[in-house]
Structure 1
Amino acid sequence: MAASPVEELSMRRLSRLVFAAGALIATALPTLASPEGVWELETRDTRFALQTCGDGSQVCGQLVWLSEADYNEQYKPYLNKPMADRLMPAGPNRWKGEMTLFGHKVAGTLTQRSANQMTLQGCAFLVVCKSYDMFRHSE
């Protein structure tokens, strides 16, 4: 039995409404707390201060603290120097761009996993890659 023109119109409208609602839900991924703040590497020997910059959607940061571990002596020249300048949004809670980690230029990604956890990934020469878990530092 064929649907009447009114029923077909109602079904098309309902289909569009369901599609639109699905698209809205799919794009409304959770936005986490701001990446702004001081983040400490999982090794507890290095801290970076991050802030939004540029148009407010980009992330900038600098190395702000090193532990007294012997191996950190070589990294002291990079203290209070930029490590990320205007990383661009690359999806919800994710920023990409060029970073300078301890004097090395890397293509990097920051991914905020939760309000207090972030992953920093960096690759030099597209083959030497390293990933660090970072945690929001609170004094």
Structure 2
Amino acid sequence: MTSKLIAAALGAAALLTLPVSTVQAADATGEWARPNGASKIRISNCGSSLCGKLIWLREPRNDTQNPDASKRSRPLLGVQIVQSMKPTKKDNQWKGKVYNAEDGKTYTGFIELTSANKLKLEGCVMGGLICKGETWTRTK
């Protein structure tokens, strides 16, 4: 009888820990709008990473600040600005690269899903010591 009680207790303990071990990462894929409303970005899977490209611009323009002169005449629409984001140890956060078309530079970047409809994006310099970011709102 004692072994049955121990087995029941172990079974109950296993059930209590089950939800913790089956927690799934939040879904950052979808369409997001910048807070100023100037653009929308579609975040999608690209292999084992997340990537994001510009899908809408209030004022369409070319990639004039790109350091590669051959790309300065290309339209910004369709350009991948969120690149190779891989999960970090922090829940709902990914790290990769962020291309800033306003200055033509690529930064170490982080995206973090802060709620189901809010995605914080940061671009960092000096190994992440100085970061600047904004929070995007899900549109789809």
TM over 0.5: yes
Q: Partner of 1:97 in structure 2?
A: 96
Figure out how many residues of one structure are paired with residues of the other and give that number.
125
Match for residue 39 of structure 2 among 9, 26, 46:
46
Q: Partner of 2:16 in structure 1?
A: 22
- Bigger Cα displacement from structure 2, 9-18 vs 45-54: 9-18
Q: Separation in 1 of the partners of 2:106 and 2:121?
A: 14
After TM superposition, the runs of 4+ consecutive aligned structure 1 residues lying more than 4 A away are: 73-78
Q: Partner of 1:127 in structure 2?
A: 129
Q: Separation in 1 of the partners of 2:10 and 2:43?
A: 42
Q: Secondary structure at the match of 2:23?
A: coil
Check conservation: 1:105, 1:124, Cα contact below 8 A.
Answer: no
Q: Render the CA deviation track for 1:106-134: whole Å, top value 9, x for unaligned.
A: 22222223432211123122222123111
Q: Partner of 2:54 in structure 1?
A: 63
Q: Secondary structure at the match of 2:10?
A: helix
- What residue ranges of structure 1 are gaps of 5+ in the alignment? 1-5
Check conservation: 1:29, 1:92, Cα contact below 8 A.
Answer: no
Quote how far apart the aligned CAs of 1:63 are. Answer: 2.8
Q: Structure 1 vs Structure 2: percent identity of aligned residues?
A: 23
Q: Separation in 1 of the partners of 2:122 and 2:23?
A: 22
- What residue ranges of structure 2 are gaps of 5+ in the alignment? 67-71
Q: Secondary structure at the match of 1:43?
A: coil
Judged with a 3 Å threshold, the aligned counterparts in structure 2 of structure 1 residues 53 and 41 are, in CA distance, closer, same or farther, namely same
TM-score (structure 2 length as normaliser): 0.67
Q: Partner of 2:107 in structure 1?
A: 106
Judged with a 3 Å threshold, the aligned counterparts in structure 2 of structure 1 residues 111 and 122 are, in CA distance, closer, same or farther, namely same
Quote how far apart the aligned CAs of 1:30 are. Answer: 5.9
Opposite residue 124 of structure 2, the aligned amino acid is C
Q: Separation in 2 of the partners of 1:19 and 1:75?
A: 58
Quote how far apart the aligned CAs of 1:135 are. Answer: 0.9
Q: Separation in 2 of the partners of 1:18 and 1:101?
A: 52
